[in-house]
Structure 1
Amino acid sequence: MLIGMVCALGAAVCFGTASVLQAVAARAAARPGDASGVDTALFLRAVRQWRYLAGLALDAVGFVLQIVALRHIPIYVVGAAMAASLAVTAVVAARLLRVRLSRLEWGAVGVVSAGLLMLGLASGEEGDGVGTLALKLGLLGVAGLVLLVGAVAGRLPDGSRALVLGLAAGTGFGVVEVAVRLVDSVSLRELLNPALYALLLGGAAGFLLLTSALQRGSVTAATAGLVLGETVGPALVGVVWLGDRTREGLEWLAVLGFLVAVAGSLALARFGEPEPQPEPSGTA
């Protein structure tokens, strides 16, 4: 249990720091006339920048830590920790990019921390459900749907486009969270497991759509959609289909902690792509 919680928090630190670096790179790589949905050209330009590469390296470390966490603690705890990476992003932005946090935003960081503490106290062992073939095929279908929604979202008005892109990206990452639990091991037998392909497709779709979401539109809306997509659905799947449970008698604390952590993360949604304050101009 302790190993899983430490790894989940470590993954949140990696993802939260990476988002600052990747967001800056995505905006720098943007060009007039770029597509607004699944934009591989934007991704290829962004990946040439050291900031984006450094962010990807942190994402890789975070992903490994996330896998370890998902093998030790319930999905709802890991999902809340991933949403809490926004608190890390806010703190990193405040330190490195000189973005000022208001008292309410510092309070939201504290709220996220309190929610994670409640989840840590209430969470039980991960469920022993292995998932049915229907669930694995369903995950693969959802991953494909994420790409389709991303392509269609490019035609939506500015107000709703960012939210849909963020929600689709979060759903892709949520597919990864569930699929990790449904892949038993690295073996030739797993090549026949639909969950393996759902994991790969969901992760790739999430990265593409998140890059597009950060490049244009309301970042707050996009990040709010991301948080909801990667927490609520996977948590429900873990409880209903995979047998995730809480400590006996502490169900209420787990629910409260989950809601508190997600609500605090939503309050920090603008830090999905923090913009540094302009340097004060000097006098001649």
Structure 2
Amino acid sequence: MVCALGAAVCFGTATVLQAMAARAAGTGGGGDAALLLRALRQWRYLAGLALDGLGFLLQIVALRSLPIYAVGAALASSLAVTAVVAARLLRVRLTRSEWAAAGVVCAGLAMLGLASGAEGNRDGSTVLRYAMLATALAVLALGTAGSRLPGRGRALALGLGAGFGFGVVEVAVRLIDALTPSVLLTNPATYALLLGGGAAFLLLTSALERGSVTVTTAGLVVGETVGPATVGVVWLGDRTREGLAWLAVLGFLVAVAGALALARFGEAPVAEEGS
């Protein structure tokens, strides 16, 4: 759980640092490519990328020892981290309800921490490995179809698709049982992880480029928590401590609900023109 929460802190802080770098880099001309090149020359953006990498490693460690439902809820709490860090570094004013939502996330995670059992003892079937690969391909198809939708429908479809892609990564980590090249190259879960993660980043970037941040992030949170948690419980044997299943379910719902309330912090705010 410490690693899962550490990953959330890394991802949430990286969002704010990258937003600060993008804000500073946005004063020049050119399109998105020029903006990215300017941002890459700033230490805040590079620090954000480093934190993303560290967060991913911590996520992998957490997924190797915790049920997927606990890790997924912990990662969703990165929105609470983003909100708090944005309030400090970007001087974003949080309302009382948003501070309350951050507290709700923490309460839900505390309940999950008390109720979570050990990682499931099932290795996952070959069918499940190919199903994850098929899901990753479906995420790409969803992105193609969703990009043609207008307004909020487009943001929601692409956000959900990105969430499903990140969910594939969470499950695929559990389905990779050895890191030797011969095993990795013959395991469909390896390709599901790479394809799902890449598709998720593409869909999320596309959604945030022209869509609502709040709607996109809400879809992202739902997609990356509910599906993987179900797979973990049904197919990988994830369980709770004896007699505490109700507390785990309640904690999961509370943490996700709190994250959804903070969905507007899925992308740190951009400074107003002239500020």
TM over 0.5: yes
The structural deviation recorded for 1:210 is 1.5
Query: What secondary structure is seen at the aligned counterpart in 2 of 1:73?
Result: coil
User: Which residue number corresponds to residue 13 of structure 2?
Assistant: 17
Match of 2:232 among 224, 231, 238: 238
Q: Would you say the 8 A contact 2:19–2:269 is kept in 1?
A: no
- Letter aligned with residue 12 of structure 1: A
| 1:194 and 2:214 correspond | no
User: Which residue number corresponds to residue 60 of structure 2?
Assistant: 67
Gaps of 5+ in 2: none
| 1:174 and 2:171 correspond | no
The structural deviation recorded for 1:214 is 2.0
User: Which residue number corresponds to residue 215 of structure 2?
Assistant: 221
| 1:267 and 2:268 correspond | no
Q: Would you say the 8 A contact 2:67–2:117 is kept in 1?
A: yes
Instruction: Provide Cα deviations, 1:232-269, integer angstroms capped at 9, x if missing partner.
Output: 00000000000000001000000000000000000000
RMSD value over aligned CA atoms? 2.5
- Letter aligned with residue 70 of structure 1: L
Using a 3 Å threshold, how does the CA distance of structure 1 residues 18 and 46 change in structure 2: closer, same or farther?
farther
Using a 3 Å threshold, how does the CA distance of structure 1 residues 43 and 130 change in structure 2: closer, same or farther?
farther
Q: Would you say the 8 A contact 2:39–2:45 is kept in 1?
A: yes
Give the total of aligned pairs. 271
User: Which residue number corresponds to residue 249 of structure 1?
Assistant: 243
The structural deviation recorded for 1:114 is 0.2
Instruction: Provide Cα deviations, 1:83-111, integer angstroms capped at 9, x if missing partner.
Output: 01100000011011111100000000000
The structural deviation recorded for 1:205 is 1.1
**Following the alignment from structure 2 to structure 1, what is the Cα–Cα distance between the partners of residues 47 and 260?**
25
User: Which residue number corresponds to residue 211 of structure 1?
Assistant: 205
Query: What secondary structure is seen at the aligned counterpart in 2 of 1:67?
Result: helix
Using a 3 Å threshold, how does the CA distance of structure 1 residues 49 and 272 change in structure 2: closer, same or farther?
farther
**Following the alignment from structure 2 to structure 1, what is the Cα–Cα distance between the partners of residues 274 and 103?**
30
**Following the alignment from structure 2 to structure 1, what is the Cα–Cα distance between the partners of residues 96 and 106?**
15
User: Which residue number corresponds to residue 8 of structure 1?
Assistant: 4
TM-score scaled by length of structure 2 = 0.91
Gaps of 5+ in 1: 35-40
TM-score scaled by length of structure 1 = 0.88
Query: What secondary structure is seen at the aligned counterpart in 1 of 2:118?
Result: coil
